[in-house]
Amino acid sequence: MALAYSVRDRMLARWVRTVETYAAHDVKVACYLSAEFLMGPQLGKNLVNLGIEAWDAAGLYHVGAFPGMAWTEWNGRYRDTMRRFVRGDPGLVGEVATRVAGSADLYADDGRLPGNGVNFITCHDGFTLHDLVSYTAKRNQANGQDNRDGTDDDASWNCGIEGKTSDPAVLALRRRQAKNCVAVLMLSRGVPMLLAGDQMLRSQGGNNNAWCQDSALSWIDWTLVESNRDMVRFTRELIALRRRHACDTSQSPPQDIIARGRQNPYAATFYSVSARSVVVLEARP
C-alpha cells in the first residue's frame, strides 16, 4: 500500500510540473493534460472530481467552452442570469428558460450534460445570499483598500432600503427574494451549489470580497440556524423535493459519448450526479 501511494505521489508531481510548463503557453493543452491524467487508469477511476471556475484560466473566460469532457464548470452565465431575473430585470424569459433547463446552449453541442455545469447564485466571491437582497452597493471599507476591491456589479437589489433595517415590509420582501433564489437554484437542471451559511441567511455586512477577513465578518454564526429556522427548513425541504423529483428524468443516460478516441466512462457518471441531484455546499475559504 505504501509503495502504491509512493508511485502515485511521484506521478502526480511529474504531472504538476508538466501542466505548469504547458500552462505558460497554452491553457487548453494544460486542461486536456489535467483531465486525461487525473481521470486516466494511472491514478484509477474516480480519484478526483474535477471542478473549475472557467473564468480563472489565465484571465480567459471559458464557460461552456472549457476543453475536455472531465471538467465540471461553475456556470457563471447561470449566476448572472438568475440574479438579474430575481431582481426583476426585464427581457430575460428565454435566457432564464435555457438556464433552468440545463444550459444546453453551453454544453449540449459537444455531448456534455446538465451535470457538467455547476449552477450557483452566490459563492465565496461577491455577496452572500442575505446581502444580495439587502445591499445595492458593496461595503468593503474593512478590507483596507478604500472600497476599491471587489466587483462593482453584483446584480443585487436592497428591496427598498440599503443595509440593515427594521422595516417589516422590507424584511419580508428580502426573505421572499432569498427564497426565490434558493427555489430556482434547486429546481434547475445541473448540479446546484449553495454557499455555506446562505441556508441561514448569513451576512457579511455588504462586504463582497471578504477573503482577507478572519473575523466575525467572515465566520459563520451558528445561532442563525435558530433565528432563521424557517429559511433553513425551506432550504432543507427544497433539497428533499429535488431528490424526490430529479430534474433530469426527461433524458436517458448516454452511453456512447466518445472522448479523445475512446468511450468516455464518465458520461453516465455525470448524468447520475445530476439525476441524483447532489447539492454541493461550498465551504468558506
For 195-225, the pLDDT digits (tens) are: 999 999 999 999 999 999 999 999 999 999 9
Within 10 angstroms of residue 211's Cβ, the number of other Cβ atoms is 14
| Mean of pLDDT values over 58-78 | 69
Q: Are 117 and 102 in contact (CB under 8 A)?
A: yes
Q: Are 78 and 190 in contact (CB under 8 A)?
A: yes
User: In terms of DSSP bridges, do strands 117-120 and 72-74 run parallel, antiparallel, or are they unpaired?
Assistant: parallel
The pLDDT of residue 4 is above 50: no
Pairwise pLDDT comparison (243 vs 176), residue with the higher score:
176
The pLDDT mean for the chain works out to: 75
Could you tell me the three cell numbers for 63?
Answer: 464557460
Helix (H, G, I), strand (E, B) or coil at 262: strand
Q: Are 162 and 137 in contact (CB under 8 A)?
A: yes
**Cα 38 from chain centroid (whole Å):** 21
Please give the pLDDT value at position 54.
62
Please give the pLDDT value at position 78.
95
